[in-house]
Amino acid sequence: MAPFLTDWRGRFTGRALAVLRPADPQQVAQLVQACAAHRVPLVPQGGKTGLVLGSVPDASGNAVVLSLARLNRVRALDALNRTITVDAGCILQTIQEAAALEGCLFPLSLAAEGSCSIGGNLSTNAGGTAVLRYGNTRELCLGLEVVTAQGEIWNGLRGLRKDNTGYDLRDLFIGAEGTLGVITGAVLRLFPQPKASITALVAIGAPRQALDLLTLAQERCGASLTGFELMSDFCLRLVGTHFPSLAQPFVTRHPQYVLLELSSSESEQHAVGLLEQTIADAIAQDIADDAVVATSVGQSLALWQLREHIPLAQAAAGKNIKHDIALPVSRIADFIDSTDVQVLAAYPGCQLVCFGHVGDGNLHYNVAPPPGTAHEDFLANQDAINRIVHDSVAAHAGSISAEHGIGALKRDELKRYRSEVELNMMRAIKAALDPLGIMNPGKIL
């Protein structure tokens, strides 16, 4: 059972009675019925790439892990309706590839796409790098099939863009982190493949300029702007240290960088023209200092690899204290400025690894120990550092979880930052759908 018990970051190993590996929704239903009859808690598990200890059991050893990995069929693709129907255990990359074979785009994209499952993506309402244009996983889902906590199969696999028939049950299960039922299948939205996607890495002086660049790019490029990622020079240095084979395009270093992606439904020429003009205007207006524009698919991938290797470089460097936070876009620069000052005053010399999907107001604000301090020892400061960062998030009208969810890791933080009114509504939903409390107990609430 070992591979199913330790989380992706290797921070926690739980215990379980067994790992169940059903092959289809009917088997999932039978297993949930058996668990309900014997009051055995279930921990649904997809690709186990979640970062908040949601998909591993706790230390009690009284639960079973329910792996959805064998539910891995692409069930149907309707090119005219632009939908694909899949099993919940399908790997995200498999769905992207199945869509591409039919000339369609499934736009959900994240660094874990080679191993995360769509059931996990739906259950965490994953974000990723294309939210700016296409939305979170919630916006990409039209219908669900769910095994309820009673072991019944709810077939809500409707491929409809409009469906106002009462409460939206689908949206309850999306983002529920396996606490309300088990997702076994989904109908997902597809889009036309863009004719061209062009990427640039733009060097800037400070996060505030990233916001000016975002405004400019949105004004000039509208819906063609599909990606807008901020990363500090420290992040790129970290990638350089742990992945020296990845080429870094700038000879001189700059304080911050924005990775910008434009997609065009017209032509590559159109996308390149729009991007180059936007960057030229940004440099003329002193928003940007320098830029490189990828001139081939290979170069574009190389730029994205720099961004996607930041979490991997961090993992290679050692354990650190992570925050996945959302802020109103307009307040991101103020948040970074004031939080940096507070964290550095309390922990002089610590290393701030700040990057994220800034176009969506989502930052990964991670804190690593000062050089020379053991990473394990530094984790003892986690609660105190969380307090500084999350209080600052609250002061800037943000959220303590943008895209990773709550899991077991942020459960106590949720209590601190959400009102009793809000928590009570969540508890009421949980009690109504899972009265025995067997669905992923101890997660979220």
Per-residue binding string, ligand FAD, 136-175, x by CB under 6 A, is: ----------------------------------------
In the chain, how long is the greatest CA-to-CA distance? 69
Q: Smallest Cα–Cα separation from 180: which of 440, 412, 422?
A: 440
Q: 347 or 365, CB closer to ligand FAD? A: 365
Q: Does 201 bind ligand FAD (CB under 6 A)?
A: no
Q: Report the alpha-carbon distance of residue 139 to residue 133 in Å, rounded.
A: 11
Q: How large is the C-alpha radius of gyration of the chain?
A: 22
Q: Report the alpha-carbon distance of residue 196 to residue 268 in Å, rounded.
A: 5
Q: Which of 25, 120, 361, 441 binds ligand FAD (CB under 6 A)?
A: 120
Q: Which of 123, 199, 392, 401 binds ligand FAD (CB under 6 A)?
A: 123
**Angle formed at CA 14 by CA 10 and CA 17, multiple of 5 degrees:** 140
Distance in Å, CB of 205 to ligand FAD, minimum:
26
Q: Does 116 bind ligand FAD (CB under 6 A)?
A: yes
Q: How many residues bind ligand FAD (CB under 6 A)?
A: 37
Q: Does 14 bind ligand FAD (CB under 6 A)?
A: no
Distance in Å, CB of 220 to ligand FAD, minimum:
26
Positions in 353-412 near ligand FAD (CB under 6 A)? 403-404, 407
DSSP letters, 13-70, are: B---SEEE--SSHHHHHHHHHHHHHTT--EEEESSS--SSS-SS--TT---EEEE-TT
Distance in Å, CB of 126 to ligand FAD, minimum:
3
**Pairing assessment for the beta strands 64-67 and 153-156 based on DSSP bridges:** unpaired
**Pairing assessment for the beta strands 191-192 and 225-232 based on DSSP bridges:** unpaired
Q: Which of 35, 55, 228, 309 binds ligand FAD (CB under 6 A)?
A: 55
Q: For tokens 């804190």, name the residue.
A: 367
Given the rule CB under 6 A, which of 118-126, 205-213, 260-268, 389-397 is the region that contacts ligand FAD? 118-126
Site for ligand FAD, rule CB under 6 A: 8, 43-51, 54-55, 68, 88, 110-112, 116-117, 119-121, 123-124, 126-128, 177-178, 182-183, 311, 403-404, 407, 440, 443
